[in-house]
Amino acid sequence: MSMTKEQEEKFKKLGLSSCIELALVVPSSYEDLRVHEKLQIHTMQLIDATVESVCRAPNSLQITFFAHNFGHLITGVLFRPKPYMLHQFKVGDRDYYYGMVECKSGFCSMSMPKKVTNIGAITPKYKSALRSDVMFRLIQSSLTKENLISEGLKEEIAEELLHVHFPAQIVPNLRDLEPKIVDALKYSELFSYMKQLSNKRRYFKALTSTCSDYEKWAQTLPFRLTHEQVKSIEEIKADFSKELSARRMIVGDVGSGKTMVILASALMMLPNRSVLMAPTTILANQLYAEAKKFLPDIKIALVTSKTKDINLDEYDFIIGTHALLYRELPCASLVMVDEQHRFGTAQRNLLEKLVSSGEKKPHFLQFSATPIPRTQAMIETAHIDVSLITTTPFKKDITSRVIHKNDFKELLEHIKMEIQSGNQVLLVYPLVEQSEVLEYQSIDEARGFWEKRFSNVYVTHGKDKEKEEVLLEFNKSGAILIATTVVEVGISLPRLSTVVIVGAERLGLSTLHQLRGRVSRTGLKGYCFLYTNQSSSERLDRFTQTSSGFDIANLDLKFRKGGDLLKGHNQSGSQFKWVDLAEDEEIVKSVKEDLGKRK
């Protein structure tokens, strides 16, 4: 729509950029200035009344009205009346007054009656950065069906939205809006959000749009790729064959086999070069080892901070850490980032920039081990393509249990047994600063206990500069690792069979799930103990019964109110006012479909 300067300023003041967003600022209440014949108790309403008498008291003014529309006497009460109010009510005058009516045993009163003139309309009241009447005029001038439709909204949705702001017959009760209207608000909220997301997506010509075969290679593997691994690879294959550069996020639980998708992608990119960045040296090393093993015929380079000068031009597949960002890189047709949430957007973009030249861009794949709710994934597809890997190649056998103080002895026994049979145990404790406000021991308070009773105890935490070395040492010769949630990263500790999480209720379900994903990575029987002082927690109980990360993500939505203390921010804060990601899958679907049709 074309806006006047004045309208533009008001939109700016409200922080809104479209009429749909304006429509989503719903009234906080309505003034019903129509004349009704039926009196309603405890409701703001209009009376057409003659003043019968006026009675002044020190702090109040009492007016007896005869309400013609109800045929009833109503006593108006003004507390601490302003001087001008004293002259507003003259015996014998007939006017319209508006106020809250209450009745008790036949006696009716209206507190703070207000003289009104704009009779016959239902007027919405707004609480926003603008004064209510200014807001109302803005709505009247810019919120039209045509404008909403021109922003892409369907006619029937636009009509429902208009009902909220221009109620015709029935005053909407905001606490209990009609389901049809609520759905329209949800739809519009999503539509607006996803439309903006899709506007953010940039389309670039791809450096290459050829794609080699991966099927023959897949047959040489010691296992069969899972259905969803194949599906992701096929989606990537289709991306690679397009003129536009791919932007895809592959989301799969820890252990779902994303590395095979990475390797297949590098393979399909041949004879062109691929670059892969991982968040830690350990992970880069692991990926490098797997790449060497499964892609023996490809020239693969490893780049970490320790890497001396090597001529990267000679390699088809470059695997590295952040160190990649600090050196000159040859052009590449495919950029991949593993554990993408460990990097900032700037770092991911920089890598892409370092390997591209000119207008054309490499294909870009990001891998994430943080399962997201299906609805969230659908929303993301507005600006990035998403592949989900929801299954793992082999089912992990992990027993999860919530435990309390009186289970501690049994826990100690269990730990002893595991260590005796050559397995390793991870104990997750809060950091010192965090334990001050919590009733749990911190790492520093707890380590003495374990070090006294066991040998080969290793300790590390997020701020520990040596944490990678400690993890490597532990992997080789450790029995117990005491740590904070640093071990969240996708490192592999093949002998780890047990994880104990102290103060588990402090953590979000997805964090708990990441921690649980550390154990039983190679088919070992695994145990996950959630140690808590809380006597009961439905959230933790449900967690112990759920194993798929995607189910956990959906569960997390349901228990949103529990934030994630450790991460220092509340993950439960939803970006939506109307949409409930746990329940509104159908609406997300229809918005996605409708937005797709517009292209």
Contact set with ligand ADP (CB under 6 A):
223-226, 229, 252, 254-260, 369, 393-394, 490
Q: Which residue is nearest to Mg ion (CB)?
A: 490
* Minimum distance, C-beta of residue 320 to Mg ion, in the bound complex (Å): 15
* Minimum distance, C-beta of residue 343 to ligand ADP, in the bound complex (Å): 16
* Minimum distance, C-beta of residue 264 to ligand ADP, in the bound complex (Å): 11
* Minimum distance, C-beta of residue 298 to ligand ADP, in the bound complex (Å): 17
Nearer CB in complex with Mg ion: 76/490: 490
Q: How far apart are CA 239 and CA 233, in angstroms?
A: 10
* Minimum distance, C-beta of residue 278 to Mg ion, in the bound complex (Å): 8
Residues 413, 418, 420, 421, CA torsion sign: positive
* Minimum distance, C-beta of residue 576 to ligand ADP, in the bound complex (Å): 29
Single-letter amino acid code for the residue at 236: I
By a kind-dependent CB cut-off of 5 to 8 A, residue 225 interacts, out of Mg ion, ligand ADP, none, with ligand ADP
Nearer CB in complex with Mg ion: 76/279: 279
- Mark out the alpha helices in 208-312 (DSSP H runs): 215-220, 227-240, 258-269, 281-294
Enumerate residues 195-234 that contact Mg ion by CB under 5 A.
none
* Minimum distance, C-beta of residue 346 to Mg ion, in the bound complex (Å): 23
Q: How far apart are CA 520 and CA 426, in angstroms?
A: 12
By a kind-dependent CB cut-off of 5 to 8 A, residue 275 interacts, out of ligand ADP, Mg ion, none, with none
Q: At what angle do helices 258-269 and 281-294 cross, to 10 degrees?
A: 60
Let me know: does 552 contact 513? Beta carbons within 8 Å: yes
By a kind-dependent CB cut-off of 5 to 8 A, residue 279 interacts, out of ligand ADP, Mg ion, none, with none
Let me know: does 60 contact 79? Beta carbons within 8 Å: yes
Strand 72-79, strand 107-115: pairing: parallel
Single-letter amino acid code for the residue at 133: D
Q: How far apart are CA 75 and CA 66, in angstroms?
A: 9
Nearer CB in complex with ligand ADP: 107/394: 394
Nearer CB in complex with ligand ADP: 362/490: 490
Residues in binding contact with Mg ion, number by CB under 5 A: 2
Q: Token pair of 340, please?
A: 């993408």
* Minimum distance, C-beta of residue 161 to ligand ADP, in the bound complex (Å): 43
Q: What are phi and psi of 519, to 5 degrees?
A: -90, 160
Nearer CB in complex with ligand ADP: 448/494: 494
* Minimum distance, C-beta of residue 387 to ligand ADP, in the bound complex (Å): 12
Let me know: does 166 contact 38? Beta carbons within 8 Å: no
Alpha-carbon distances, residue 497 vs 139, 332, 419, 461 (angstroms) = 61, 40, 9, 20
257 binding Mg ion? (CB under 5 A): no
Alpha-carbon distances, residue 196 vs 151, 439, 587 (angstroms) = 11, 44, 17
490 binding Mg ion? (CB under 5 A): yes
Nearer CB in complex with ligand ADP: 278/530: 278
Helices then strands, counting H and E runs in the chain, come out as 21, 20
Q: At what angle do helices 281-294 and 467-477 cross, to 10 degrees?
A: 50
By a kind-dependent CB cut-off of 5 to 8 A, residue 254 interacts, out of Mg ion, ligand ADP, none, with ligand ADP
Residue with tokens 């992997």: 475
Let me know: does 207 contact 333? Beta carbons within 8 Å: yes
Helix/strand/coil for 217: helix
* Minimum distance, C-beta of residue 506 to ligand ADP, in the bound complex (Å): 25
Nearer CB in complex with ligand ADP: 15/296: 296
Three-state SS annotation for 175-196 = HHCCHHHHHHHHHHHHHHHHHH
Nearer CB in complex with Mg ion: 248/258: 258
Residues 555, 556, 557, 563, CA torsion sign: positive
By a kind-dependent CB cut-off of 5 to 8 A, residue 115 interacts, out of Mg ion, ligand ADP, none, with none
279 binding Mg ion? (CB under 5 A): no
Determine if residue 165 is left, alpha or beta; phi over 0 gives left, psi from -120 to 50 gives alpha, anything else beta. alpha
By a kind-dependent CB cut-off of 5 to 8 A, residue 424 interacts, out of ligand ADP, Mg ion, none, with none
Helix/strand/coil for 544: helix
By a kind-dependent CB cut-off of 5 to 8 A, residue 387 interacts, out of Mg ion, ligand ADP, none, with none
Helix/strand/coil for 323: helix
By a kind-dependent CB cut-off of 5 to 8 A, residue 449 interacts, out of ligand ADP, Mg ion, none, with none
Nearer CB in complex with ligand ADP: 259/400: 259
Nearer CB in complex with Mg ion: 266/579: 266
* Minimum distance, C-beta of residue 348 to ligand ADP, in the bound complex (Å): 18
By a kind-dependent CB cut-off of 5 to 8 A, residue 255 interacts, out of ligand ADP, Mg ion, none, with ligand ADP
Nearer CB in complex with ligand ADP: 49/251: 251
Please name the residues in contact with 478: beta carbons below 8 A apart, sequence gap of 6 or more.
424, 456, 457, 458
Nearer CB in complex with Mg ion: 280/484: 280
* Minimum distance, C-beta of residue 490 to ligand ADP, in the bound complex (Å): 5
Q: Which residues bind Mg ion (CB under 5 A)?
A: 258, 490
